[in-house]
Structure 1
Amino acid sequence: MTCLGTAGTTLLDTRIPPFHVKISRNHTKPVPVLIGAEFEFKSSSPALLLLPTGRRRSLGPPAEMAMDLSTSSSSAPSSLILTSGASGRISALFSLRALRSLMMLINAFFLLLLLPFRGRKRPAPSSSADKLSDVDDKQRGPVVRVPPTIVHWKSSSSAPPPVDYDVAARRALAKIRVIQDDDENSVRQFSLFATARGNETLFTQTWTPVSVNIRGIVILMHGLNEHSGRYSGFAKQLNANGFKVYGMDWIGHGGSDGLHAYVPSLDFAVADMKSYIEKVVAENPGLPCFCFGHSTGAAIILKAMLDPKVEACIDGVVLTSPAVGVQPSHPIFVVLAPVIAFLMPRYQISVANKPGMPVSRDPAALVAKYSDPLVYTGSIRVRTGYEILRITSYLQQNLSKMRVPFLVLHGTADTVTDPKASQKLYDEASSTDKTITLYDGLLHDLLFEPEREAISKHIIDWLIRRI
């Protein structure tokens, strides 16, 4: 007879009584046995042999497995050792394969619901890819080559992890810009800041006035998808008025660690901001310390200010277009965001970016922003969008706890963040020293609008009056 047994299958053949398996140890060479494969045995009557699934094993040495399948007509009535009943179905229901199939079904369901989600585009054929590469090189300029040796390994294991070339290239470019910035009135330097989590490094930089006495400190927090280096011009204006400026690229941005523009949790950015403030204050004892934040960076600062320990260190904050109120393009995203952020956190959703969302009325400023390799221009990642909705919801419920002096500036034509939410911040905050200015017709990036000089002067005058 021929007997076949397949892994993961439960069968019953009642035509023969139970058989017995005997192992003899009268050989010396090991015999490899692949558990879970198909086996064929010869006998005079039908029989079934099932082996459990597992890894390749060797019964050696000095054992070689010899199987003697014998039947006994005098044995007791056969007992059901192998069954095809409910027990097998229940085991299969809770098996790893069933769970994987269920997860695949759930993913497919949400992918059908959310067609705008998309991953990385597939590369074009080699000839087309070469042409596209040439075009990119012409548009972006020279490519920064980063040797693997400059990358800091984050693991103490014997085998180093793969190099994150994207982070290394971004960090190298950020460093080059600092080094090549030769200004006789300001000294620009960079440093790396280790987070309290211990597994991430953030890129930071400073602008120090050369011929002007330092009267105060300003800590810069950039907005979503950009980096602190974009505010170098504003930092030098602050230098000219006696302020030393510190800038930090928060997680996933600029020269800092993390997938570009991917924020696993804005609570990480808030915690990093608190640690950075503590460091800056310790380095500058006795000097008044202020914070400047734009858009999501302003939301990060606002949440940090709700901590009494941080509040005691800060003399005032300036917020431009703060992300206190952000509305998704469709209400369904508010419902689906937590689920999708858990299942597919890195997926990019194009419809979350409302069509026709200009951030400046200055064409040159737009070209400079979107041609900058350190500025992320892709569609927002699901987890990042969910984190923004989460922090804005938190701020909306805690605006009355804000007690730090603040200046909030917002353009009435801003389509990225809601100027009405800035008005609500002003109305509900408990700060006794608070000012709001709404610029009629201006867009989101106020410091890159044609009126930037007047806006910068407004901010600097507010800071000087509080030194």
Structure 2
Amino acid sequence: MASEVLILKGEDPAMMLTSGATGRISALFSLNALKSLIVFLNGVVLLILLPFRVLVSTPAKDDHEGHRKGAVVRVPATIVAWKSSSSVSSGNGASRRTMAIRRVLEEEKKDDNNNMVRDYWLFRPRRGDTIFTQSWIPTNVKVRGVVLLMHGLNEHSGRYNQFAKQLNANGYKVYGMDWVGHGGSDGLHGYVHSLDDAVSDMKVFLEKILTENPGLPCFCFGHSTGGAITLKALLDPKIEARIAGAVLTSPAIGVEPSHPILLALAPIASVLLPTYQCSSAYKKGLPVSRDPEALIAKYSDPLVSTGPLRVRTGYEILRITSYLQQNLTKVKVPFFVLHGTADSVTDPAASKKLYEEAASTDKTSKLYEGFLHDLLFEPERDAITQEIIQWLNSRV
């Protein structure tokens, strides 16, 4: 199968200043210099983003900027009640949040047998973003544990609806959080200024979950970049001490630049062009699932960001993976890491390295031969889900 080709297109003009030995500025604006600078910056962006494989996808149907005008109801700075029936505040992410809330309410109405209660909850961290979370609470079985879901890059927690229901059937309450710039949360769609914000938000949400479920073992599930966020949160001893275990599918702990010098260039580009999206041309490449219907469902979902990777987001992924690579030996929480050997997005060898280097005394690793990135959306998803549930059950 042909590999993907990423082509950057430059834009004129830019500005460049030159000076002579006498300190005089010989040229303030030079068209050729301007073109050279923009070509250089685009080159830097290309180098930074080369390690990130970009998949062919259709444009999202919603407004990627997240703008939507209408009635405004302010969300208080403190935590607000579950299932607020009022509209949410306007701004980046407001239109997506409206859609996410509607899906929760529609899903609850579909549950004719009253097997679960579907709720959502909004909170606003100190930096001011409104974060969307949701829950799946079983009502027909004895609850024996809690699971927090952290989705991957460009997707949202609602994509794991079927997985959450399967966990419900086995006695687990499930909570999901859309991290900033994703799903129903605030922010430019697909843009992450700092993954540390997502880590911090996860800790806030986790505190609420633990407070509401005293005595129940709490597990974390993280996919791809959500797995990286989860791991970094669990490196906090205060968090690690309260978590019974973590399940990580295709965790983003092995995304690295093609040359170490790019780690020095990435911060510069992320400051100069943080929200820049590379215009790119694609050749056919490996998808994230071998199930065509799963691919169609993913890339036709308006809550999934399908545009090119933004510069700052790419840098943040490089930054968190670099941090994790240096701290794998500090991982102490029990974990189950799963990865497909044919994953073209994150490196399965990094999951093996996690298993080998982690200080955890209770750790399990499984590689699926020929499987791709989105393991819970592969044709064998039910069998994989059952393996996850068995791992959870043995630790309740």
Shorter-chain TM-score: what band?
0.7 to 0.9
Cα deviation for residue 352 of structure 1 reads 11
Tell me, yes or no, if the aligned pair for 1:350 and 1:380 is still in contact at 8 Å: no
- Among 277, 295, 298, which residue is 2:206 paired with? 277
Label 1:173 to 1:340 Cα distance change in 2 as closer, same or farther (>3 A). same
Give distance in 1, aligned partners of 2:312 and 2:281: 12
Give distance in 1, aligned partners of 2:154 and 2:169: 28
- Among 285, 288, 301, which residue is 1:356 paired with? 285
- Among 298, 303, 311, which residue is 2:227 paired with? 298
Label 1:225 to 1:115 Cα distance change in 2 as closer, same or farther (>3 A). same
- Among 121, 129, 132, which residue is 1:191 paired with? 121
Tell me, yes or no, if the aligned pair for 2:45 and 2:269 is still in contact at 8 Å: no
Give distance in 1, aligned partners of 2:294 and 2:309: 21
Partner residue of 1:122?
none
Larger Rg: 1
Partner residue of 1:53?
none
Partner residue of 1:152?
74
Cα deviation for residue 356 of structure 1 reads 1.2
Q: Which amino acid aligns with 1:375?
A: V
Residue 42 of structure 2 corresponds to residue 114 of structure 1: yes
Structure-to-structure mapping, 1:210-221, within 5 angstroms: 210-221=139-150
Residue by residue over 1:27-48, the C-alpha shift from the partner in whole angstroms, topping out at 9 and shown as x without a partner, is: xxxxxxxxxxxxxxxxxxxxxx
Q: Figure out how many residues of one structure are paired with residues of the other and give that number.
A: 344
Label 1:278 to 1:166 Cα distance change in 2 as closer, same or farther (>3 A). closer
Residue 308 of structure 2 corresponds to residue 379 of structure 1: yes
- Among 353, 370, 374, which residue is 1:424 paired with? 353
User: Alignment partner of 1:376: what SS?
Assistant: coil
Label 1:373 to 1:332 Cα distance change in 2 as closer, same or farther (>3 A). farther
Cα deviation for residue 327 of structure 1 reads 3.5
Cα deviation for residue 333 of structure 1 reads 4.7
- Among 93, 105, 109, which residue is 1:179 paired with? 105
Residue 178 of structure 2 corresponds to residue 252 of structure 1: no
Give distance in 2, aligned partners of 1:415 and 1:460: 26
Tell me, yes or no, if the aligned pair for 1:329 and 1:351 is still in contact at 8 Å: no
Cα deviation for residue 319 of structure 1 reads 0.1
- Among 167, 179, 184, which residue is 2:93 paired with? 167
Tell me, yes or no, if the aligned pair for 1:415 and 1:443 is still in contact at 8 Å: yes
Cα deviation for residue 152 of structure 1 reads 2.9
TM-score of the pair, normalised by structure 1: 0.68
Cα deviation for residue 278 of structure 1 reads 1.1
Residue by residue over 1:385-429, the C-alpha shift from the partner in whole angstroms, topping out at 9 and shown as x without a partner, is: 000001000000000000000000000000100000000000000
User: Alignment partner of 2:232: what SS?
Assistant: helix
- Among 387, 401, 416, which residue is 2:330 paired with? 401
Tell me, yes or no, if the aligned pair for 1:206 and 1:246 is still in contact at 8 Å: yes
Label 1:421 to 1:232 Cα distance change in 2 as closer, same or farther (>3 A). same
Residue by residue over 1:48-95, the C-alpha shift from the partner in whole angstroms, topping out at 9 and shown as x without a partner, is: xxxxxxxxxxxxxxxxxxxxxxxxxxxxxxxxxxxxxxxxx98x98xx
Cα deviation for residue 446 of structure 1 reads 0.1
TM-score of the pair, normalised by structure 2: 0.79
Q: Which amino acid aligns with 1:253?
A: H
Q: Which amino acid aligns with 2:105?
A: I
Tell me, yes or no, if the aligned pair for 2:59 and 2:306 is still in contact at 8 Å: no
Give distance in 2, aligned partners of 1:106 and 1:192: 46
Tell me, yes or no, if the aligned pair for 2:100 and 2:184 is still in contact at 8 Å: yes
User: Which sits farther off after the overlay, 375-384 or 164-173?
Assistant: 164-173
Cα deviation for residue 334 of structure 1 reads 4.0
Partner residue of 2:390?
461
User: Alignment partner of 1:380: what SS?
Assistant: coil
Tell me, yes or no, if the aligned pair for 2:69 and 2:90 is still in contact at 8 Å: no
Tell me, yes or no, if the aligned pair for 1:187 and 1:210 is still in contact at 8 Å: yes
Partner residue of 1:265?
194
- Among 100, 114, 129, which residue is 1:200 paired with? 129
Residue by residue over 1:263-322, the C-alpha shift from the partner in whole angstroms, topping out at 9 and shown as x without a partner, is: 001111111111111111011111100000000000000001110000011000000000
Label 1:331 to 1:397 Cα distance change in 2 as closer, same or farther (>3 A). closer
Q: Which amino acid aligns with 1:114?
A: N
Give distance in 2, aligned partners of 1:300 and 1:431: 18
Give distance in 2, aligned partners of 1:206 and 1:442: 29
Q: Which amino acid aligns with 2:269?
A: I
Structure-to-structure mapping, 1:217-256, within 5 angstroms: 217-256=146-185
Tell me, yes or no, if the aligned pair for 2:67 and 2:93 is still in contact at 8 Å: no
Partner residue of 2:7?
none
Residue 366 of structure 2 corresponds to residue 437 of structure 1: yes
Partner residue of 2:55?
none
Tell me, yes or no, if the aligned pair for 2:277 and 2:310 is still in contact at 8 Å: yes
Cα deviation for residue 354 of structure 1 reads 9.2
- Among 247, 261, 265, which residue is 1:318 paired with? 247
Cα deviation for residue 167 of structure 1 reads 1.4
User: Alignment partner of 2:141: what SS?
Assistant: coil
Q: Which amino acid aligns with 1:191?
A: W
Cα deviation for residue 342 of structure 1 reads 1.0
User: RMSD between aligned alpha carbons?
Assistant: 3.2
